[in-house]
Amino acid sequence: MTKINRIKGFSDLFPPEITAYVFMEETAREIFSRYGYQEIRIPILEQTELFTRSIGQETDVVQKEMYTFPDRKGRSLTLRPEATAGVVRAYIESPSSSLDAVNKMFTFGPMFRYERPQKGRMRQFHQVNVEILGEDSPWSDAEVIIMLWTYLQRLGLKKLDLEINSLGCSQCRPAFHLALKNFFKTLDQKGLCSDCLRRADANPLRVLDCKVPGCREMIRHAPKINQHLCSHCEDHFEKVINVLSASGLKYQLNPNLVRGLDYYQRTTFEVISHDIGSQNSVAGGGRYDGLSKALGGPDVPGIGFACGMERLALLLNGINERPKDFYLAVLHEEAMDKALLLAQRLREKGFFGVMGFRVKSVKAHLRQANKLGVKTCLLLGPDELGRGEIQVKDMATGVQRAVSQEEVEQALGLNIKGKNNNYLSGR
pLDDT at 189: 63
Of 295, 315, 335, the residue that ends a domain is 315
Shared domain for 151 and 48, answered yes or no, is: yes
Least confident of 78-87, 143-152, 211-220: 211-220
Shared domain for 122 and 101, answered yes or no, is: yes
Residue 281 in any domain: the answer is: yes
Residue 142 in any domain: the answer is: yes
pLDDT for 56-78, tens place per residue? Answer: 766 667 777 888 999 999 999 99
Shared domain for 27 and 54, answered yes or no, is: yes
Distance CA 238, CA 241 (A): 5
Shared domain for 351 and 288, answered yes or no, is: no
Q: Is the pLDDT of residue 417 over 60?
A: no
Residue 45 in any domain: the answer is: yes
Mean pLDDT, residues 315-330 taken together: 83
Mean pLDDT, residues 335-363 taken together: 89
pLDDT for 98-114, tens place per residue? Answer: 666 789 999 999 999 99
Three-state helix/strand/coil letters over 326-374: EEEEECCHHHHHHHHHHHHHHHHCCCCEEECCCCCCHHHHHHHHHHHCC
Residue 181 in any domain: the answer is: no
Q: Are 5 and 407 in contact (CB under 8 A)?
A: no
* pLDDT over 70 percentage in the chain: 90
Shared domain for 299 and 349, answered yes or no, is: no
Q: Is the pLDDT of residue 421 over 60?
A: no
Residue 261 in any domain: the answer is: yes
pLDDT at 279: 65
CATH number at residue 297: 3.30.930.10
Shared domain for 307 and 353, answered yes or no, is: no
CATH number at residue 404: 3.40.50.800
413 band by pLDDT with thresholds 50, 70 and 90:
confident
Question: Which residue type, as a one-letter code, is found at position 399?
Answer: V
Mean pLDDT estimate for the chain: 85
Distance CA 50, CA 89 (A): 8
Of 315, 343, 377, the residue that ends a domain is 315
426 band by pLDDT with thresholds 50, 70 and 90:
very low
The DSSP line for 232-289 is HHHHHHHHHHHHHHHHT---EE-TT---S-TT-EEEEEEEEESSS-S--EEEEEEE-T
pLDDT at 418: 46
pLDDT for 201-252, tens place per residue? Answer: 667 777 777 677 777 777 777 777 777 888 898 999 999 999 999 999 999 9
Distance CA 164, CA 145 (A): 10
Shared domain for 247 and 98, answered yes or no, is: yes
Shared domain for 336 and 239, answered yes or no, is: no
Shared domain for 81 and 144, answered yes or no, is: yes
Distances (CA, A) of 38 to 10, 94, 129, 329, 422: 29, 14, 12, 43, 25
41 band by pLDDT with thresholds 50, 70 and 90:
very high
Q: Point out which residues pair with 111 in neighbouring strands.
A: 125
Question: Domain range for residue 57?
Answer: 17-172+229-315
127 band by pLDDT with thresholds 50, 70 and 90:
very high
Count up the domains in the chain and report the number.
2
Radius of gyration, CA atoms only, the chain: 28
Shared domain for 400 and 279, answered yes or no, is: no
Distance CA 415, CA 409 (A): 10
Residue 141 in any domain: the answer is: yes
3-state SS of the chain: helix, strand, coil percent to 5?
A: 40, 20, 40
Residue 189 in any domain: the answer is: no
Q: Are 141 and 303 in contact (CB under 8 A)?
A: yes
Shared domain for 303 and 352, answered yes or no, is: no
Shared domain for 248 and 281, answered yes or no, is: yes
Residue 308 in any domain: the answer is: yes
